[in-house]
């Protein structure tokens, strides 16, 4: 037995050596991770689906595509169309002439961008065989033609004062379009960045053309892990898709800087107006008065939102600037009593997103205060969204993202836009609203559209097919040595053009 014990003790030594070796390997791996990086890394919740401007519909694709390609038209801070790589004139209401800037930009393959490239890009979008999701926004285009190398003309079927705002497709080289280049994985544009590689599904590499700095876009779906990667320096920057409690926690960390900027993503409660209960305007107004948005914004969203009064934010050229229905629980109770709906039971549908669910739970509690019993149901995104589009709901919450043009009102509220033709999912049918939408569309200029659009927004606040909640802020988190990023209202990444890493002692 003594011998055996002695041997067992001896047998423990290799184990200790193995543990020591493991620690050494781990330490060496740790050292390797601390080697300073040359590139700048941006963390994303989801990777772009495609880098082809003709097919991009998701936010991540749209934001990366903006870095790779240039557009004829951009939007200013009031969402007014402004010249991108071309300014324009309107010789006739149905003819727009775009003059490319001089000197003309160059594609990342060295070729100079010419009018023929613009024509080829838009003809490709308009070609049914391309299957572009953006074709419908250009259905008013009768023809597009190049006049020399510097001028492009668009001929329209009918006048459209909003037309320049529709020309936001990234311009691709004509030769490559004709050669059938796969722009979704091998993009070539004239933007400030060029494509380097997409080595894995979760990693995309671009290079800034002005100074050759490499950027890596890394997908990390879990927000906590994304934040931990920033804290450890594996990622330099992240934007949005963070739970409010993580944002509050990050604000107190020295390694990072947190900034927030006003956004235009509009969150709302939607109702089924064909339902006997939610079809009653008094009930919808009672719900609007019962929701304490200030409290929700402060305590649930961590002060990363501002109250909303309609789809278009106040800074939008057509925005009304109203902050919506004020919190007034007494008025809410009075309205409920007036229609005998005390104790009413409403099914409220939302997605399984933790923040959405938390907000829905808080709203459920607030509505209980005035005597509405909310049956909260959360579903995975596909099921939830399918139900909403099918009109299978009483009440739901959603957001409109990236809205720039006021044509959204026809799409969401006109009586001809009931599903499946449009997104009037609550079956809102109102002749006054219809007339105002049509008046705005018939106006010959954007200033002339403002009055009917303001009247329309006031009408929507009266009828309340939606209860406006808030506009969500954009939150940007960066390592403390990162400088130059400016948050855009639509959350684009354009200011990566100016981002740099500063050394110790730099300002």
Partner 1 sequence: MIAFLLSRLTSALLVVFGVSVLVFLLIHAVPGDPVEVMLGETSQPADREELRRALGLDQPLPVQMAEYYRRLLDFDLGTSLYSRRPVAEILAERFPATLELAVAGLAVALLLALPLGVLAAMRRGTAWDNGAMMFSMLGVSIPNFLMGPLLILVFSLWLGWLPVSGRDGWGSLVLPAITLGTALAAILSRMIRATLLEALGEDYILTARAKGLPWYRVILRHALRNALLPVMTLLGLQLGALLAGTVITEIVFSWPGIGQLTIESIHRRDYPVVQACILLIAVSYVLVNALTDLAYGWLDPRVRLGGREGGER
Nearest distance in Å: CB 153, partner 1: 26
CB burial class (10 A; 0-12, 13-18, 19+) of residue 98? Answer: buried
Is there a contact between 190 and 173 (Cβ–Cβ < 8 Å)? no
Q: Is 35 in the site for partner 1 (CB under 8 A)?
A: no
Residue-wise DSSP of 333-375: HHHHHHTT-TT-EEEEEEES-HHHHHHHHHHHHHHHHTT-EEE
Nearest distance in Å: CB 398, partner 1: 10
**SS3 letters across 9-78:** HHHHHHHHHHHHHHHHHHHHHHHHHCCCCCCEEEEECCCCCCCCCCCCCCHHHHHHHHHHCCCCEEECCC
CB atoms within 10 A of CB 353: 16
324: alpha, beta or left? (left if phi > 0; alpha if psi -120 to 50): left
Nearest distance in Å: CB 412, partner 1: 10
CA distance 113 to 173: 7
Q: Is 15 in the site for partner 1 (CB under 8 A)?
A: yes
Q: Is 184 in the site for partner 1 (CB under 8 A)?
A: yes
| 291 versus 482: smaller Cβ distance to partner 1 | 482
Q: Is 231 in the site for partner 1 (CB under 8 A)?
A: yes
In degrees and rounded to multiples of 5, residue 470 shows phi and psi of -160, 165
CA distance 351 to 234: 31
Among 9, 13, 29, 158, binds partner 1 (CB under 8 A): 29
Q: Is 415 in the site for partner 1 (CB under 8 A)?
A: no
| 342 versus 383: smaller Cβ distance to partner 1 | 383
Pick out residues in 75-134 that bind partner 1 (CB under 8 A).
128, 131, 133
Q: Hey, what are 496's tokens?
A: 């990566």
Q: Is 8 in the site for partner 1 (CB under 8 A)?
A: yes
Nearest distance in Å: CB 479, partner 1: 14
CA distance 56 to 50: 6
Pick out residues in 208-227 that bind partner 1 (CB under 8 A).
218-222, 224-225
Q: How far is CA 272 from its chain centroid?
A: 25
Among 53, 54, 55, 437, binds partner 1 (CB under 8 A): 55
| 379 versus 459: smaller Cβ distance to partner 1 | 379
Q: Is 202 in the site for partner 1 (CB under 8 A)?
A: yes
| 203 versus 451: smaller Cβ distance to partner 1 | 203
| 22 versus 295: smaller Cβ distance to partner 1 | 22
Nearest distance in Å: CB 79, partner 1: 16
| 377 versus 483: smaller Cβ distance to partner 1 | 377
Pick out residues in 377-406 that bind partner 1 (CB under 8 A).
380-383, 385-387, 389
How would you classify the pairing of strands 151-156 and 95-100?
Answer: antiparallel
Q: Hey, what are 449's tokens?
A: 């559209």
Among 2, 11, 35, 507, binds partner 1 (CB under 8 A): 11
Q: Is 480 in the site for partner 1 (CB under 8 A)?
A: no
Q: Is 248 in the site for partner 1 (CB under 8 A)?
A: no
Q: Is 416 in the site for partner 1 (CB under 8 A)?
A: no
Q: Is 2 in the site for partner 1 (CB under 8 A)?
A: no
Convert residues 124-163 into a mask of x (bound to partner 1 by CB under 8 A) and - (unbound).
Answer: ----x--x-x-xxx--------------------------
How would you classify the pairing of strands 373-379 and 345-351?
Answer: parallel
In degrees and rounded to multiples of 5, residue 476 shows phi and psi of -115, 130
Q: Is 316 in the site for partner 1 (CB under 8 A)?
A: no
What is the total count of residues that contact partner 1 (CB under 8 A)?
53
Q: Is 4 in the site for partner 1 (CB under 8 A)?
A: yes
| 104 versus 135: smaller Cβ distance to partner 1 | 135
| 55 versus 71: smaller Cβ distance to partner 1 | 55
Nearest distance in Å: CB 219, partner 1: 7
In terms of DSSP H, where are the helices of 179-303? 223-232, 244-251, 281-290, 293-295
Select from 456, 428, 454, 468 the least CA-distant residue to 289: 468
Half-sphere exposure of 385 (CA within 13 A, CB side): 7
Among 16, 34, 35, 211, binds partner 1 (CB under 8 A): 34
Q: How far is CA 62 from its chain centroid?
A: 9
Find the farthest-apart pair of alpha carbons in the chain and give their distance in angstroms, rounded.
105
| 59 versus 370: smaller Cβ distance to partner 1 | 59
**What does the binding site for partner 1 look like in residue numbers (CB under 8 A)?**
4, 7-8, 11, 15, 26-27, 29-30, 32-34, 49-50, 55, 57-58, 128, 131, 133, 135-137, 184-185, 200-203, 218-222, 224-225, 228-229, 231-232, 234, 380-383, 385-387, 389, 411, 420-421, 423
């Amino acid at each position: 037995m003594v011998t055996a014990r002695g041997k067992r003790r001896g047998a423990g030594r290799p184990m200790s050596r193995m543990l020591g070796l493991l620690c050494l390997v781990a330490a060496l791996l740790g050292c390797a991770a601390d080697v300073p990086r040359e590139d700048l890394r941006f963390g994303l919740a989801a990777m772009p689906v495609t880098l082809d401007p003709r097919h991009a519909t998701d936010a991540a694709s749209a934001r990366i595509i903006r870095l790779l390609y240039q557009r004829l038209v951009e939007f200013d801070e009031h969402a007014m169309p402004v010249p991108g790589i071309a300014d324009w004139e309107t010789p006739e209401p149905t003819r727009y002439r775009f003059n490319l800037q001089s000197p003309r930009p160059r594609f990342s393959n060295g070729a100079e961008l010419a009018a023929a490239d613009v024509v080829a890009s838009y003809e490709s979008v308009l070609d049914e065989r391309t299957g572009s999701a953006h074709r419908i926004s250009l259905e008013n285009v009768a023809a597009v033609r190049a006049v020399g190398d510097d001028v492009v003309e668009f001929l329209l079927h009918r006048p459209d004062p909003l037309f320049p705002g529709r020309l936001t497709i990234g311009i691709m080289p004509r030769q490559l379009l004709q050669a059938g280049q796969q722009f979704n994985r091998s993009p070539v544009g004239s933007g400030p960045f060029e494509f380097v590689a997409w080595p894995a599904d979760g990693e995309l590499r671009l290079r800034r053309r002005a100074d050759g700095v490499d950027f890596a876009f890394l997908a990390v779906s879990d927000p906590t892990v994304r934040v931990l990667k920033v804290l450890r320096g594996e990622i330099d920057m992240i934007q949005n898709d963070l739970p409010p409690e993580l944002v509050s926690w990050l604000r107190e960390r020295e390694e990072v800087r947190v900034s927030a900027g006003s956004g235009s993503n509009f969150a709302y409660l939607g109702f089924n107006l064909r339902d006997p209960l939610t079809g009653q305007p008094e009930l919808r107004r009672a719900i609007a008065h019962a929701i304490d948005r200030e409290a929700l914004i402060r305590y649930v969203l961590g002060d990363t939102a501002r109250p909303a009064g309609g789809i278009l934010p106040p800074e939008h050229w057509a925005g009304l600037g109203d902050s919506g229905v004020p919190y007034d629980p007494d008025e809410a109770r009075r309205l409920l009593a007036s229609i005998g709906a005390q104790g009413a039971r409403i099914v409220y549908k939302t997605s399984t997103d933790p923040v959405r669910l938390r907000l829905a739970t808080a709203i459920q509690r607030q509505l209980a205060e005035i005597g509405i019993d909310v049956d909260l149901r959360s579903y995975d995104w596909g099921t939830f969204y399918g139900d909403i589009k099918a009109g299978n709901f009483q009440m739901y919450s959603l957001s409109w993202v990236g809205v720039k043009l006021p044509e959204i009102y026809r799409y969401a509220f006109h009586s001809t836009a009931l599903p499946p033709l449009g997104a009037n999912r609550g079956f809102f049918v109102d002749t006054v609203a219809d007339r105002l939408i049509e008046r705005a569309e018939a106006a010959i200029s954007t200033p002339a559209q403002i009055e009917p659009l303001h009247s329309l927004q006031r009408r929507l606040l009266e009828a309340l097919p939606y209860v406006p909640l808030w506009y969500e802020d954009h939150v940007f988190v960066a390592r403390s040595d990162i400088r130059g990023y400016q948050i855009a209202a639509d959350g684009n990444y354009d200011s990566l053009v100016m981002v740099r890493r500063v050394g110790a002692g730099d300002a």
